[in-house]
Structure 1
Amino acid sequence: MTEPGRVVTAGEARDGGRFRALVPRVASVCMAVAALYSAVIAVLPPVRHLLGPVTRFVELTVFPVEPNLGYAVFLGILAGALARRKRAAYWVLLVIFALLVLGNLAVVLSASVWPDLVEEFALTGEVVASEVDLVVTAVVLGVLSAAHDEFLAPTRRASFRKALLTLGGLLAVSFGAGCALVTLFPGTLRTPDHVPWALERALGGVATLDFYRSGRPPSWVNFAIGLLSAVAVLVAFAVLFRSQRAGAELPAESEARVRALAEAYGARDSLAYFATRRDRSVVFSPSGKAAVSYRVVAGVCLAGGDPVGDVEAWGPAIRAWLAEARRYGWAPAALGPSEAAAHAYARAGLRVLELGDEAVIDAGAFGLSGREMRGVRQAVNRVTRAGFTLRIRRHADLSPEEMRHVTERAAAWRGTRAERGFSMALGRLGDPADGSCVLVEALDATGRLTALLSFVPWGEDGLSLDLMRRDRDSDNGLMEFMVAGMAAEAGDFGVKQISLNFAMFRSVFEGGARLGAGPVLRLWRRTLVFLSRWWQLESLYRANAKYHPRWVPRFLAFDDTRDLPKVGLASVVAEGFLTAPALRSLVRRGRRGAGPRAAGRVPS
């Protein structure tokens, strides 16, 4: 609170805001350091003995650290929650420091009331340490209190109740296991003391039911029960600190506004139409002239492509999106923005990395002549000789029965695999609202549908590839046949440019294969080739490169370098490349050396 009549300058308000904004990150780093220190001294006894004086000094003057893995995991969970500005984590930390202040204050007051006892038991050093710790913890408590408005991220609804139920249920399991173990392996513990002793151990020793009990079971029984109870506490805190989930749903009103923005400004970004995915949410700029569409995956607020709308309103839209992410403790990231949008995200404070390149065909200049197009030309000629023909129509020109047949065939060719795509896929086929999309069908000599491509509008004169499917028993070369046919007929639909697949790390594959490439680049390329056994990185690059397209760079924007692993995981989950069944079969497929079959925008 300011003094009466005193005006707070903009500089003072800005400095104070910057100071408070740093508190969550500093608190998170400190808890992470304490967690790492506790883990190291827990698993490395020589280091624990070597750092004994340091540990005692830190405990007496700063913050309690213990050689305990469970405690280290708890501090790690707390650090992650503080980094996400979780309100529940803030209150946990506030209570910890309040208890430390009260404990140190009690020691200091006791020493002033009974100084003779301090001298008799030589406790002067401990009292001095408590005085220092009192000052430190009081300052920290004051800073946390002043920065309370920086911890606004809510936990999931009813998370406190769920955490209590989780804790109670797991402690009950620990108690039951303790009763069984102490019954089977009582050691010197008497039978009447089995249940009370197991209850004490399950509660972590916070209460003693019998001070005069004699005897005890084997030490490993005590350790096993303590471990179960520690796991119970850690799981309960993990439940308490979970991020708020966002409903993956685009309301009809928001979809209509996004469609209007995409129609008016969509020529700038080939991915603009994908903002109408109905498993995304959207946040608009205050003026309503731009919007950022996103989905929350694994605690990451993942935006797709460029903001939709007027470039002049991109900044306010991005800031509104960042405010939404920080309000709920999500890590913000944007997957696949163009260079212009990457600059806009960078101006908003995000870091940017080049992720890969989008393949764009200029329809007017595309042709099959020349040595460099020999592979595509041969594939097209082979399919043409086999009697295949093309049929290209707007979705709106198909009858309901025809569209139903197309969607059934597309679903059958996908098989049991999950639908892939987030940033460059629509996730639906045959919706009446998508009548302006273009369907390319490949028919065999008998007129049977054997493959299809679906493109979404890209402004007034472009198309962006959405879906690629074919019958696995059909002839090879169908995709080349359809892409070349679409490019040849593009003028009839007023189309000048066609966006194909996105090739991650395209420059690495291309540069690493050149003569004279450096050792680092070659090693990076070998690593990506190895990973392509699962995620088709190299095959996507080669499938695009054979058309000799124009390469348009795409980027990844993110807030904190420490979030990169989480952002990467959220990206592959959102794109459909990593699911629970995929995790179970990852090692088995890697042993066979076979990658997954094409789906979504993966060419065959």
Structure 2
Amino acid sequence: MAAVYSAVIALVPPIRHLLRPVTGLIEMAVFPVEPNLGYAVFLGILAGALARHKRSAYWVLMVIYVLLVLGNLAVVLSSSLMPDLVEEFALTRQVVASEVNLVVSAVVLGILAAAHDEFFAPTRRASFRKALVTLGSLLAVSFGVGYALVTVFPGTLKARDHLPWALERALGGAATLDLYRSGRPPSWVNFVIGLLSAIAVLVAFAVLFRSQRARAELPPESEERVRALLAAYGSRDSLGYFATRRDRAVIFSPSGKAAVSYRVVAGVCLAGGDPIGDVEAWAPAIRAWMDEARRYGWAPAVIGASEAAAHAYARAGLRVLELGDEAVIETGAFGLEGREMRGVRQAVNRVKRAGFTLRIRRHAELSPEEMRHIIECATAWRGTETERGFSMALGRLGDPADGSCVLVEARDADGKPAALLSLVPWGADGLSLDLMRRDRDSDNGLMEFMVAGLVAEAGEFGVKEISLNFAMFRSVFEEGARLGAGPVLRLWRCTLVFFSRWWQLESLYRANAKYRPRWVPRFLAFDDTRDLPKVGLASVIAEGFLAVPSLSTLLRRGEHGGVRPPVPARPGQDA
């Protein structure tokens, strides 16, 4: 609240003058506020870090209140020792304000001291030193720009006051170098310096309060334990196999019978899919995962949880929202007959007439040369620079450890590869779609041809269910298009259709709906409603729709000419 108030009175001068008595009351009884953007940003970042139980933020606040107590105590003692000066300069009101603020600050300081154990989230090593260097460098830039501006546009400010005034503004009003200065430059100069100082504080405290980074890595021993749990309980969740992604971490229940797979992105501890393992051990695994997030000040969240897992996360204290539905084809009930399947049937027949053929094999059946060629095709057909996916993608086509995965190839009349599907195991009798690629110059209908062909031969692989893509907000598209849909639902559907121009929400729903699948709801779980924007951003980054490279990544790219260096293969893996 103090941050918002400081920002408002900094940006709107009429309100600043109107609320001057209120500002004095807040400073006397609550917390110092300043009409300065840099100070407002500082308070906002500090408040967010305190809400995440950051230890460094706690000590910053302690220093602030210690300084407040010492400053007010000095004023009160001076007034007691020199009462004549107080009466002569009419400082009685200031002395009373200092007395009130001394009491308030002392009480808050005592509460903070008693609550020391509540602030336990660590910061990264050397963060304080890096934050000081960052702050000093950027404030120096703010001071330099401010001094140049006030020299060119001095307003009524005298020449000898240019340098101290610029220094005061760059420091955000934290220090006053001349109490008797008269004159001021144009208000926009003050705004520019305040904005630069705000950016400096924002960056510096972001460096100081940034979350402890977790290693996005699945060690071989943890992967073996995850695969053992999947072998015993993998049929419960179609997304279970994606927990073997090696850019995820995993935390097990005390008994080792269940685990939560996650990655830390933008301060969010983002779990994907359901917990792996015995349902009876889900609760201890979820508690261990949430304790880990709480320890480091991460916001816990889950993307793509099933209904059973959503109930488990809700019992652990998280809030739950329905995201959309997963399309699941039951191979025994699938067929191309009937009016509803007319579109798929026509696409399949058209591709067959064009001479395309289909080949379905386990990854283990491919030779190294064949797999290398498949990887080259998949990379060439990819429409984005980076591989996308987190909750429903494996991201490592051709790994020897994934020999039980199924590859579906479509080849044209000349035997040239035209499209492919790669699916991961879903228990003993299911498959879950991992990769879907096709040559953009090939015929339309290839995906329908491959899906229908896979279902037709599913019996040879012992497959009864096939999980396809996830359709976000599926119920909105379906219910909003029906006759008699309410105005709110129709408006919501129109909004999603508009955004589908960029994010393909509706087209993905229709691409799945034409197979007449069984729709399985998937949920988003999160801790606090205020964290939803952060959780959304983390999900977008994790799924590969937004790349946020770090400084070290940019330096590495520069060293390798803009090309990512190859990732070393594990022992026994074809590099």
Same fold (TM over 0.5): yes
C-alpha separation in 2, matches of 1:243 and 1:374: 53
C-alpha separation in 2, matches of 1:365 and 1:226: 66
Deviates more, 1:364-373 or 1:408-417: 408-417
Structure 2 matches for 1:314-329, cutoff 5 A?
A: 314-329=282-297
C-alpha separation in 1, matches of 2:73 and 2:134: 34
CA spacing shift, 1:179–1:546, aligned 2, 3 Å:
same
Q: Which of 226, 233, 236 lines up with 1:268 in the alignment?
A: 236
Deviates more, 1:448-457 or 1:108-117: 108-117
Q: Which of 119, 126, 142 lines up with 2:110 in the alignment?
A: 142
C-alpha separation in 1, matches of 2:233 and 2:334: 26
Post-superposition Cα deviations, 1:271-326, rounded to whole Å, max 9, x if no partner, equal 00000001111111111111111111111111000011111111111111111111
1:507 partner SS = helix
1:401 partner SS = helix
In the other structure, the counterpart of 1:94 is 62
C-alpha separation in 2, matches of 1:430 and 1:204: 56
C-alpha separation in 2, matches of 1:222 and 1:283: 51
Q: Does 1:542 align with 2:510?
A: yes
C-alpha separation in 1, matches of 2:448 and 2:187: 69
1:153 partner SS = coil
In the other structure, the counterpart of 1:560 is 528
Q: Which of 457, 461, 472 lines up with 2:429 in the alignment?
A: 461
In the other structure, the counterpart of 2:19 is 51
Deviates more, 1:421-430 or 1:379-388: 379-388
Post-superposition Cα deviations, 1:461-515, rounded to whole Å, max 9, x if no partner, equal 1100000001111111110111111111111101111101111111100000000
CA spacing shift, 1:190–1:525, aligned 2, 3 Å:
closer
1:248 partner SS = coil
Aligned-pair CA distance for 1:212: 10
Structure 2 matches for 1:240-279, cutoff 5 A?
A: 240-279=208-247
In the other structure, the counterpart of 2:415 is 447
Gaps of 5+ in 1: 1-32, 582-604
In the other structure, the counterpart of 1:393 is 361
Structure 2 matches for 1:296-311, cutoff 5 A?
A: 296-311=264-279
Aligned-pair CA distance for 1:52: 2.7
C-alpha separation in 2, matches of 1:219 and 1:557: 46
Contact 1:156–1:242 (Cα < 8 Å) also in 2:
yes
Structure 2 matches for 1:472-511, cutoff 5 A?
A: 472-511=440-479
Aligned-pair CA distance for 1:214: 10
Deviates more, 1:243-252 or 1:121-130: 121-130
Structure 2 matches for 1:111-190, cutoff 5 A?
A: 111-178=79-146, 180-181=148-149
Contact 2:38–2:194 (Cα < 8 Å) also in 1:
no
Deviates more, 1:364-373 or 1:114-123: 114-123
1:288 partner SS = coil
C-alpha separation in 1, matches of 2:56 and 2:299: 17
Instruction: Tell me the amino acid that sits aligned with residue 263 of structure 2.
Output: R
Instruction: Tell me the amino acid that sits aligned with residue 506 of structure 1.
Output: R
Q: Which of 35, 39, 51 lines up with 2:3 in the alignment?
A: 35
Structure 2 matches for 1:324-339, cutoff 5 A?
A: 324-339=292-307
CA spacing shift, 1:211–1:506, aligned 2, 3 Å:
closer
Instruction: Tell me the amino acid that sits aligned with residue 515 of structure 2.
Output: Y
CA spacing shift, 1:456–1:539, aligned 2, 3 Å:
same
C-alpha separation in 2, matches of 1:441 and 1:372: 26
Post-superposition Cα deviations, 1:71-96, rounded to whole Å, max 9, x if no partner, equal 22211111111122111111111111
1:364 partner SS = coil
In the other structure, the counterpart of 1:514 is 482
C-alpha separation in 2, matches of 1:366 and 1:216: 78
Q: Does 1:381 align with 2:349?
A: yes
Q: Which of 378, 382, 385 lines up with 1:410 in the alignment?
A: 378
**So what's the TM-score if we normalise by structure 1?**
0.85
C-alpha separation in 1, matches of 2:3 and 2:150: 32
Contact 2:122–2:212 (Cα < 8 Å) also in 1:
yes
Deviates more, 1:555-564 or 1:99-108: 99-108
Q: Which of 62, 75, 90 lines up with 2:43 in the alignment?
A: 75
Instruction: Tell me the amino acid that sits aligned with residue 436 of structure 2.
Output: M
Post-superposition Cα deviations, 1:185-219, rounded to whole Å, max 9, x if no partner, equal 67898989877776666556767889999998777
C-alpha separation in 1, matches of 2:92 and 2:389: 66
Instruction: Tell me the amino acid that sits aligned with residue 452 of structure 2.
Output: A
CA spacing shift, 1:504–1:194, aligned 2, 3 Å:
closer
CA spacing shift, 1:176–1:108, aligned 2, 3 Å:
closer
C-alpha separation in 1, matches of 2:237 and 2:186: 68
C-alpha separation in 2, matches of 1:429 and 1:325: 31
Contact 2:363–2:403 (Cα < 8 Å) also in 1:
yes
Aligned-pair CA distance for 1:50: 3.5
C-alpha separation in 2, matches of 1:134 and 1:489: 80
C-alpha separation in 2, matches of 1:440 and 1:500: 14
CA spacing shift, 1:85–1:107, aligned 2, 3 Å:
same
Deviates more, 1:310-319 or 1:414-423: 414-423
Contact 1:358–1:554 (Cα < 8 Å) also in 2:
yes
Which stretches of structure 1, 4 residues or longer, exceed 4 Å deviation after superposition?
115-125, 178-227
C-alpha separation in 2, matches of 1:202 and 1:125: 30
CA spacing shift, 1:220–1:514, aligned 2, 3 Å:
closer
In the other structure, the counterpart of 1:25 is none
C-alpha separation in 1, matches of 2:106 and 2:527: 32
1:469 partner SS = strand
In the other structure, the counterpart of 1:427 is 395
1:58 partner SS = helix
C-alpha separation in 1, matches of 2:191 and 2:410: 66
C-alpha separation in 2, matches of 1:57 and 1:111: 20
2:386 partner SS = coil
C-alpha separation in 1, matches of 2:508 and 2:85: 77
Q: Which of 222, 234, 237 lines up with 2:202 in the alignment?
A: 234
Contact 1:535–1:577 (Cα < 8 Å) also in 2:
no
Instruction: Tell me the amino acid that sits aligned with residue 73 of structure 1.
Output: V
Deviates more, 1:570-579 or 1:527-536: 570-579
C-alpha separation in 1, matches of 2:156 and 2:89: 35
Deviates more, 1:490-499 or 1:416-425: 416-425
C-alpha separation in 1, matches of 2:29 and 2:280: 53
CA spacing shift, 1:204–1:476, aligned 2, 3 Å:
closer
**So what's the TM-score if we normalise by structure 2?**
0.89
Q: Does 1:344 align with 2:341?
A: no
Contact 1:155–1:244 (Cα < 8 Å) also in 2:
yes
Post-superposition Cα deviations, 1:246-289, rounded to whole Å, max 9, x if no partner, equal 22211111111111111111110000000000111111111111
1:336 partner SS = strand
CA spacing shift, 1:410–1:144, aligned 2, 3 Å:
same
Contact 1:299–1:331 (Cα < 8 Å) also in 2:
yes
C-alpha separation in 2, matches of 1:96 and 1:551: 55
Aligned-pair CA distance for 1:399: 0.7
Structure 2 matches for 1:215-230, cutoff 5 A?
A: 224-225=192-193, 227-230=195-198
1:440 partner SS = strand
C-alpha separation in 1, matches of 2:181 and 2:22: 36
Instruction: Tell me the amino acid that sits aligned with residue 412 of structure 2.
Output: D
Contact 1:61–1:130 (Cα < 8 Å) also in 2:
no
Instruction: Tell me the amino acid that sits aligned with residue 170 of structure 1.
Output: L
Aligned-pair CA distance for 1:387: 1.3
Aligned-pair CA distance for 1:69: 2.2
Instruction: Tell me the amino acid that sits aligned with residue 350 of structure 1.
Output: L
Post-superposition Cα deviations, 1:550-602, rounded to whole Å, max 9, x if no partner, equal 11110000000001111111111211223369xxxxxxxxxxxxxxxxxxxxx
Root mean square deviation of aligned Cα: 2.6
C-alpha separation in 1, matches of 2:503 and 2:213: 28
